């Protein structure tokens, strides 16, 4: 009897990253947060891997180490491929494997004491300095992955990302940790198996632990793609300091343009809403309700508020009304359940009437 060979599930496409400037939009909410350690919404392995991959991708893009566009695929359960596969526009591919550094006892303690202000009651730092603990856990995490490599799990170029989550992480002096880890890695360089190693250490991503000049350190805590509010505050701080060379100019320009577009969308929406209710008052005055009047007043208040913040929109009011009137006419007809031909073909209201807080048709 012929034995049927078990098929390996194909990787699952997750993301397409088109460019560095579109990275924030392309990533969306992917890997932004992880769930709690306990409870029905508790985190799983994939959430933690997504969290690490997001930060690594942001750091790589910031250092111009990604060749866009990039297709990101995730391996499925039972797949013997790396955790993620990146396929670049020119056709090359790179596997990405992710692992966590931290002892089992420490992880168990974190889970049991999540949300509680308690100090770790284990051995603490009596026998080991914080740096020694981090180094030990990082090297042990690397050894685990090397054992899988020895079993032939991966084919092709593959990078390893180690997420530092050990007992000594908060107290360790990071530069001392990096020097020690690089010394260990250099001694084992010929049998490491991975193309490159990276370390996520708190808010910092250390790219290329095997690089000849040491890792590149990228702080992703206030990047445009990861923390929009923090990034915006950082840009404001750099501008006040006149540190223009450090300003993220492309993304800042794009965000400023988006602010303008969002205000335009807001005033268009309010003008359309105002026109709909005014048209309903014109066509069905006997059905006019206090709710209609409240909606008209609310729309006018929002319009005036937007104009106060954006005086330049005053010059575009006539244009916006002309654009929005056909939409408002169709919407009003639908809401009144009448034919659109029953409503005026041209806007019967002047700009002054639209803005007059006391104007109502028929008053």
Determine the pLDDT at residue 3.
42
Determine the pLDDT at residue 80.
67
8 A C-beta contact, residue 340 and residue 283: no
- Model-level pTM? 0.62
Determine the pLDDT at residue 44.
81
Rounded CA separation 189/183 (Å): 10
Determine the pLDDT at residue 95.
92
- Note the pLDDT tens digit of each residue in 222-281: 776 776 667 778 888 888 889 888 888 887 887 777 677 778 888 999 999 999 999 998
- Note the pLDDT tens digit of each residue in 302-359: 999 888 888 888 888 899 999 999 999 999 999 888 999 999 999 999 999 999 988 8
Rounded CA separation 126/284 (Å): 82
Q: Per-residue pLDDT for 154 more than 60? A: no
The mean of the pLDDT values for the chain is: 82
Reading phi first (left if > 0) and then psi (alpha if -120 to 50, else beta), residue 240 is in: alpha
pLDDT grade for 127, boundaries at 50, 70 and 90:
very low
152: its two tokens? 């032939």
More confident residue, 363 or 71: 71
Longest dimension (CA), the chain: 91
- Note the pLDDT tens digit of each residue in 26-85: 888 888 887 776 777 777 888 889 999 999 999 999 888 999 999 999 886 555 678 999
- Per-domain residue ranges of the chain: 12-246, 251-355
More confident residue, 122 or 143: 143
**Which residue's structure tokens are 């990047």?**
223
Determine the pLDDT at residue 5.
42
């Amino acid at each position: 009897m012929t034995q049927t060979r078990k098929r390996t599930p194909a990787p699952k496409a997750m993301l397409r990253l088109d460019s560095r400037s579109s990275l924030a939009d392309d990533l969306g909410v992917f890997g932004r947060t992880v769930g709690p350690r306990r409870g029905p919404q508790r985190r799983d392995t994939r959430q933690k891997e997504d969290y690490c991959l997001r930060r690594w991708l942001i750091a790589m893009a910031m250092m111009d180490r990604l060749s866009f566009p990039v297709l990101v695929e995730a391996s499925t359960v039972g797949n013997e491929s790396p955790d993620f596969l990146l396929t670049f526009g020119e056709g090359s591919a790179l596997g990405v494997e992710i692992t966590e550094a931290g002892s089992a006892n420490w992880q168990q303690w974190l889970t049991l004491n999540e949300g509680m202000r308690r100090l770790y009651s284990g051995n603490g730092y009596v026998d080991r300095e914080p740096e020694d603990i981090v180094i030990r856990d990082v090297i042990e995490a690397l050894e685990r992955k090397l054992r899988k490599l020895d079993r032939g799990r991966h084919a092709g170029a593959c990078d390893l990302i180690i997420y530092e989550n050990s007992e000594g992480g908060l107290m360790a002096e990071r530069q001392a940790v990096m020097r020690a880890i690089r010394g260990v890695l250099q001694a084992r360089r010929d049998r490491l198996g991975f193309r490159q190693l990276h370390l996520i250490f708190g808010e910092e991503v250390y790219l290329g632990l095997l690089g000849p000049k040491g890792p590149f350190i990228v702080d992703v805590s206030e990047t445009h793609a990861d923390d929009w509010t923090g990034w915006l505050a950082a840009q404001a701080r750099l501008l006040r300091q006149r540190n223009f060379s450090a300003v993220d100019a492309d993304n800042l320009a794009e965000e400023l343009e988006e602010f303008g577009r969002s205000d335009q969308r807001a005033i268009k929406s309010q003008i359309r809403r105002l026109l709909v209710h005014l048209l309903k008052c014109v066509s069905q005055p006997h059905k006019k309700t206090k709710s209609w009047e409240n909606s008209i007043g609310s729309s006018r208040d929002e319009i005036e508020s937007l104009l106060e913040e954006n005086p330049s929109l005053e010059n575009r009011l006539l244009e916006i009304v002309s654009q929005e009137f056909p939409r408002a006419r169709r919407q009003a007809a639908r809401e009144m359940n009448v034919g659109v031909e029953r409503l005026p073909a041209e806007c019967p209201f002047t700009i002054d009437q639209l803005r007059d807080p006391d104007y109502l048709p028929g008053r």
